[in-house]
């Protein structure tokens, strides 16, 4: 029994040290674990665009595809804008389709908003001779034709009949076919550039005049690339206008200020709780405080390992879970006070933990249920998908899980040790 | 020690009734002071070159007007600290999603309690205490909104949902003691629900108060030191914690006891 206890104490100690190393930020196997901060703490922009999908008249397959490509186009633009660690996701509620864009640490949110909010545009361009005065060598420049994404009927991935390689076949509308015929007729032997969002996707050489409004873009695509291009071309063919419906931009200074204040509040609150526990429960209070410190160290390590993106509500969730972590100990100590009146201490201790467990379990499951619904891990569209609410729920749920461990396993074994030494 | 808590149950109902009616009066008279997360609008916070921090709030604006607001800030050479625009459609969605989340949590918790305590009565009275706490919270913010101009924002929604789970968390601890005493027959208490409830409340009261104190300490630190962004969020959690602690012994249990007593009366009337 005593040997068993010693092993458990050592295991708890090892776990605490391991978590302490990660929490402190020492590199483990060359990897340094960092705490990821949400936009409200690190500064940045949270943008929500709403897609105008009225033009699809309920054609869901097409709509889904277009929303997906809309997201891709936006992501591409964000990447072109040079923002690292950005996050673009879709969200759907009732019949509203949204694109949520998170841009950490940007200085010019207005420009970013304008760039992302523009409608995707597909353009066909041809090479025309450029008159350069006082120059002997002839030069040429790209000139936009009147053939655009609006003239595209559809695009799809096909396999080239000769080479077997994946390529993208495009089909024009009737009017587009005429335009395409004219363009190809005057560009035989020259390339025609296909440009999307000022990006040349492909510039195939025209071999002959093409009639019938069909063309094939054969690059050195993989199937995935061809599919991606297909999706992007379809977005050009059916440009989905977007409208900015929500923007939350937090400057980096305000974020740092929030972090500092929350940390200060957390430390003050924690000291008050610890003093209170010692004041009320004496030496048991010290055990609870040790368990609480272990709780803090493990929780912090988990934030880094998972990783949890810490937001302001997330910090509040953590502070609340500290209160709940202490609750397990209070429940047990109060029970202990009663049981010890009629039984020897060691027996009273075991009974208290056994009895208190029922209520701790039932109560924490109820809290976990709410945390689960707030976190919405299955992405149910009728519930919140916001990062802030999620952050809160995740830290609360983690706090409950870890507090069960520290409240039951850690403080129980620490108390056992206490008893043996007396 | 044995205190006859349940003797005064109508006093507890009266205290709750006073606070509930104040809150409900506020809700009907002034409603909630909704922030831009619900109504749509623009908030611009910026720091002028001389260090002065300004915050301005506007109603729903067109894209062009929003761009103008931004340009004005730039013209003053001010640094943008915070800029929020919310379209008018977001608010109704927020309310709907919150309602779904509320309904779902309440159903699941009711289900969980009914299974664990093998009684619908336990579940329903816990849910009633939960509704009591959310009404107190909404009512308080209606009054705070009217008298202190405090706005309801997105974080408030999170606070309401958290308080629901805290309320139930606290109630379950008291219920657990009642369940234990019902299982283990005590000749002093018999099977009288009033006596069992009195005994259970006596034993859990210190724990309930001590536990609330620890949470109140943490939240108080947040209110006083946590900064403007989460001050009212922490206040909401604080009000909810106090109400949630009160409602377990003084709302949920009295409802349960009254229900059991009424049922007993009804049964004995029928058998006569």
The domain spanning residue A382 has which CATH number? 1.20.1640.10
Residues A187 and A267 in one domain: no
Structural domain includes residue A242: no
Contact check, Cβ <8 Å, A269/B218:
yes
Look at chain B and count its residues. Answer: 272
- Banded pLDDT at A362 (limits 50, 70, 90): confident
- Banded pLDDT at A317 (limits 50, 70, 90): confident
Residues A232 and A204 in one domain: yes
Which chain A residues are within 8 Å of B169, Cβ to Cβ? Answer: 324, 363-364, 366-367
Number of domains in chain A: 3
Over residues A8-17, the pLDDT tens digits come to: 888 999 999 9
- Banded pLDDT at A172 (limits 50, 70, 90): confident
* Percent of chain B's residues with pLDDT above 90: 30
Structure tokens at A393: 């729920």
Contact check, Cβ <8 Å, A319/B97:
no
Among A316, A364, A370, the residue with its CB nearest the CB of B164 is A370
Candidate ranges A26-40, A216-230, A267-281, B160-174; pick with highest mean pLDDT: A267-281
What whole-number distance in Å separates Cα of residue A5 and Cα of residue A193?
A: 75
User: Which residue of chain A has the CA closest to B216?
Assistant: A323
Instruction: Flag whether residue A375 sits within 8 Å of chain B, measured between CB atoms.
Output: no
User: Which residue of chain A has the CA closest to B89?
Assistant: A245
Pick among A363, A386, A396, A407 to test the B interface (most B CBs inside 10 A): A363
Residues A150 and A113 in one domain: no
Tell which phi-psi region holds residue A58, choosing left (phi > 0), alpha (psi between -120 and 50) or beta.
left
| DSSP class of B251 | I
> Which DSSP helix (H) or strand (E) runs through B7?
none
Among B104, B176, B226, the residue with its CB nearest the CB of A359 is B176
Of A97, A119, A141, which residue constitutes the final position of a domain? A119
- The C-alpha of A268 sits at a distance from chain B's nearest C-alpha, in angstroms, of 6
- The C-alpha of B177 sits at a distance from chain A's nearest C-alpha, in angstroms, of 8
Contact check, Cβ <8 Å, B112/A366:
yes
Over residues A35-86, the pLDDT tens digits come to: 788 888 888 888 888 888 776 666 777 778 778 777 777 776 666 555 667 7
User: Does residue B49 register a pLDDT over 90?
Assistant: no
User: Does residue B86 register a pLDDT over 90?
Assistant: no
Nearest CA-CA partner of A279 in B241, B173, B214, B219: B214
Contact check, Cβ <8 Å, A96/B93:
yes
Question: Per-residue pLDDT averaged across B225-241, rounded?
Answer: 89
Confirm if B155 and B230 have CB atoms less than 8 A apart: yes
Instruction: Flag whether residue A92 sits within 8 Å of chain B, measured between CB atoms.
Output: no
Among A244, A320, A388, the residue with its CB nearest the CB of B162 is A320
CB within 8 Å of chain B, chain A residues 217-256: 243-251, 253-254
Q: For position A83, what pLDDT does the model report? A: 64
Residue B39 CB neighbour total at 10 angstroms: 16
Over residues B62-83, the pLDDT tens digits come to: 777 887 888 888 788 888 788 8
Residues A276 and A409 in one domain: yes
Pick among A45, A119, A265, A288 to test the B interface (most B CBs inside 10 A): A265
Confirm if A249 and B84 have CB atoms less than 8 A apart: yes
- The C-alpha of A246 sits at a distance from chain B's nearest C-alpha, in angstroms, of 4
Q: For position B17, what pLDDT does the model report? A: 95
Contact check, Cβ <8 Å, A323/B211:
yes
Query: What is the bridge-based pairing of β-strands A192-196 and A152-159?
Result: unpaired
CATH of the domain at A94: 3.30.70.3400
Q: Got the DSSP string for A266-324?
A: HHHHHHHHHHHHHHHHHHHHHHHHHHHHHHHHHHHHHHHHTT-EE-HHHHHHHHHHHHH
Residues A98 and A197 in one domain: no
Check: complex ipTM more than 0.90: no
Residues A101 and A143 in one domain: no
- The C-alpha of A127 sits at a distance from chain B's nearest C-alpha, in angstroms, of 37
Out of A261-265, A307-311, B112-116, pick the least confident.
A307-311
Which chain B residues are within 8 Å of A330, Cβ to Cβ? Answer: 207, 210-211, 214
Contact check, Cβ <8 Å, A250/B166:
no
For residue A74, what are the domain limits?
43-119
What whole-number distance in Å separates Cα of residue A35 and Cα of residue A17?
A: 18
Among A245, A316, A384, the residue with its CB nearest the CB of B87 is A245
CATH of the domain at A152: 3.30.1360.200
pTM over 0.80: no
Pick among B218, B234, B235, B237 to test the A interface (most A CBs inside 10 A): B218
Residues A272 and A366 in one domain: yes
User: Does residue B109 register a pLDDT over 50?
Assistant: yes
Spatial strand order of the sheet with A87-93 comes to A87-93, A96-104, A44-51, A242-250, B79-86, B41-47, B53-58
Structural domain includes residue A138: yes
Which chain B residues are within 8 Å of A268, Cβ to Cβ? Answer: 221, 225
Instruction: Flag whether residue A374 sits within 8 Å of chain B, measured between CB atoms.
Output: yes
User: Does residue A258 register a pLDDT over 90?
Assistant: no
Residues A176 and A299 in one domain: no
Which chain A residues are within 8 Å of B218, Cβ to Cβ? Answer: 266, 269-270, 272-273, 319-320, 322-323
Contact check, Cβ <8 Å, B213/A276:
yes
Contact check, Cβ <8 Å, A269/B220:
yes
Which chain B residues are within 8 Å of A362, Cβ to Cβ? Answer: 112-113, 116, 172, 175-176
Over residues B87-96, the pLDDT tens digits come to: 777 777 778 8
Q: For position B27, what pLDDT does the model report? A: 93
Q: For position A120, what pLDDT does the model report? A: 45
Structural domain includes residue A342: yes
Contact check, Cβ <8 Å, A369/B214:
no
Structural domain includes residue A246: no
Q: For position A238, what pLDDT does the model report? A: 38
What whole-number distance in Å separates Cα of residue A80 and Cα of residue A62?
A: 26
Q: For position A237, what pLDDT does the model report? A: 40
Residues A293 and A330 in one domain: yes
Q: Is A217 helix (H, G, I), strand (E, B) or coil?
A: strand
Name residues whose C-beta falls within 8 Å of residue B53's C-beta, 6 or more positions apart in sequence. B45, B46, B47, B81
Over residues A179-216, the pLDDT tens digits come to: 888 888 888 888 888 776 566 767 777 877 888 888 77
Angle between helices B154-183 and B193-225 (to 10 degrees): 150
Confirm if A339 and A351 have CB atoms less than 8 A apart: yes
Residues A80 and A133 in one domain: no
Structural domain includes residue A244: no
Candidate ranges A151-160, A169-178, B76-85, B117-126; pick with highest mean pLDDT: B117-126
Among A273, A369, A371, the residue with its CB nearest the CB of B112 is A369
Please indicate whether residue B268 or residue A119 has the higher confidence score (pLDDT). B268
- Banded pLDDT at A370 (limits 50, 70, 90): confident
Residues A127 and A114 in one domain: no
What whole-number distance in Å separates Cα of residue B99 and Cα of residue B157?
A: 10
Over residues A115-129, the pLDDT tens digits come to: 566 554 667 888 777
User: Which residue of chain A has the CA closest to B99?
Assistant: A383
Instruction: Flag whether residue A171 sits within 8 Å of chain B, measured between CB atoms.
Output: no
Residue B73 CB neighbour total at 10 angstroms: 21
Of A98, A119, A140, which residue constitutes the final position of a domain? A119
- The C-alpha of B204 sits at a distance from chain A's nearest C-alpha, in angstroms, of 8
Structural domain includes residue A245: no
Confirm if B57 and B42 have CB atoms less than 8 A apart: yes
Contact check, Cβ <8 Å, B177/A373:
no
Over residues A343-357, the pLDDT tens digits come to: 888 888 888 888 888
Residues A115 and A126 in one domain: no
- The C-alpha of A335 sits at a distance from chain B's nearest C-alpha, in angstroms, of 9
Candidate ranges A26-40, B29-43, B140-154, B182-196; pick with highest mean pLDDT: B140-154
Over residues A19-31, the pLDDT tens digits come to: 888 888 777 777 7
- Banded pLDDT at B166 (limits 50, 70, 90): confident
Contact check, Cβ <8 Å, A254/B93:
no
Mean pLDDT taken over chain B = 87
Structural domain includes residue A377: yes
Instruction: Flag whether residue A110 sits within 8 Å of chain B, measured between CB atoms.
Output: yes
Structural domain includes residue A56: yes
Among B82, B214, B233, the residue with its CB nearest the CB of A251 is B82
Of A119, A138, A171, which residue constitutes the final position of a domain? A119
Which chain A residues are within 8 Å of B172, Cβ to Cβ? Answer: 359, 362-363, 366
Name residues whose C-beta falls within 8 Å of residue B129's C-beta, 6 or more positions apart in sequence. B167, B168, B171, B247, B248, B251, B252, B255
């Amino acid at each position: 029994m005593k040997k068993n206890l010693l092993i458990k104490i050592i295991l708890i100690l090892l776990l605490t040290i391991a978590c302490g190393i990660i929490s402190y930020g020492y590199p483990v196997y060359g990897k340094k674990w960092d705490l990821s901060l949400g936009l409200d703490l690190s500064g940045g922009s949270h943008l929500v665009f709403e897609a105008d999908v009225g033009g699809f008249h309920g054609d869901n397959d097409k709509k889904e595809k277009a929303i997906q490509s809309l997201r891709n186009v936006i992501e591409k633009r964000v990447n072109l804008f040079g923002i690292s660690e950005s996050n673009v996701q879709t969200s759907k509620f009732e019949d509203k389709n949204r694109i949520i864009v998170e841009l950490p640490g940007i200085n010019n949110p207005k420009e970013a908003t304008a760039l992302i909010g523009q409608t995707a545009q597909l353009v066909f361009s041809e090479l025309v001779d450029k008159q350069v005065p006082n120059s002997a060598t002839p030069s040429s420049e790209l000139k936009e034709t009147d053939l655009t994404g609006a003239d595209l009927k559809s695009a799809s991935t096909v396999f080239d009949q000769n080479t077997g390689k994946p390529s993208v076949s495009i089909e024009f509308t009737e009017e587009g076919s005429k335009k395409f015929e004219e363009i190809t007729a005057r560009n035989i032997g020259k390339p025609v550039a296909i440009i999307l969002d000022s990006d040349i996707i492909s510039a195939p050489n025209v071999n002959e005049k093409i009639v019938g409004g069909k063309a094939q873009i054969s690059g050195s695509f993989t199937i995935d690339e061809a599919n991606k291009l297909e999706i992007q071309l379809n977005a050009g063919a059916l440009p989905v206008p977007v409208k900015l419906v929500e923007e939350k931009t937090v400057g980096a200074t305000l974020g740092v200020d929030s972090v500092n204040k929350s940390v200060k509040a957390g430390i003050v609150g924690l000291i008050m709780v610890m003093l209170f526990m010692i004041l009320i429960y004496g030496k048991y209070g010290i055990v609870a405080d040790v368990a609480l410190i272990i709780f803090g160290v493990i929780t912090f390590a988990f934030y880094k390992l998972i990783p949890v993106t810490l937001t302001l509500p997330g910090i509040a969730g953590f502070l609340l879970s500290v209160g709940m972590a202490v609750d397990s100990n209070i429940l047990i100590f109060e029970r202990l006070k009663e049981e010890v009146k009629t039984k020897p201490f060691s027996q009273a201790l075991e009974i208290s933990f056994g009895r208190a467990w029922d209520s701790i379990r039932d109560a924490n499951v109820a809290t976990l249920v709410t945390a689960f619904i707030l976190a919405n891990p299955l992405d149910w569209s009728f519930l919140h998908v916001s990062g802030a609410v999620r952050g809160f729920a995740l830290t609360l749920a983690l706090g409950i899980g870890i507090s069960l461990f520290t409240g039951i396993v850690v403080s129980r074994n620490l108390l056992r040790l206490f008893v043996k030494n007396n | 020690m044995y205190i006859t808590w349940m003797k005064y149950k109508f006093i507890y109902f009266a205290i709750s009734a006073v606070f509930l009616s104040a809150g409900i009066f506020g809700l009907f008279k002034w409603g909630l002071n909704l922030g831009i997360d619900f109504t749509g609008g623009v908030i611009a916070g910026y720091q002028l070159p001389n260090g002065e921090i300004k915050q301005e709030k506007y109603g729903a604006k067109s894209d062009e007007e929003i761009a103008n607001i931004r340009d004005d800030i730039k013209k003053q050479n001010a640094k943008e600290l915070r800029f929020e625009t919310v379209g008018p459609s977001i608010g109704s969605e927020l309310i709907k999603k919150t309602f779904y989340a509320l309904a779902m949590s309440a159903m699941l918790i009711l289900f969980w309690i009914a299974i664990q305590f093998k009684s619908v009565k336990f579940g329903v009275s816990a849910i009633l205490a939960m509704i009591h706490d959310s009404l107190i919270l909404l009512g308080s913010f209606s009054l705070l909104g009217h008298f202190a101009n405090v706005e309801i924002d997105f974080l408030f929604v999170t606070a309401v949902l958290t308080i629901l789970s805290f309320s139930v968390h606290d109630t379950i601890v008291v219920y657990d003691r009642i369940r234990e005493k019902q299982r283990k027959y005590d000749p002093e208490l018999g099977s009288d629900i009033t006596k069992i409830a009195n005994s259970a409340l006596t034993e859990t009261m210190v724990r309930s108060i001590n536990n609330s104190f620890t949470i109140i300490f943490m939240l108080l630190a947040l209110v006083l030191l946590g900064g403007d962004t989460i001050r009212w969020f922490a206040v909401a959690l604080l009000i909810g914690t106090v109400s949630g602690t009160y409602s377990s012994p003084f709302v949920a249990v009295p409802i349960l006891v009254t229900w059991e007593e009424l049922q007993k009366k009804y049964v004995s009337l029928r058998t006569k």
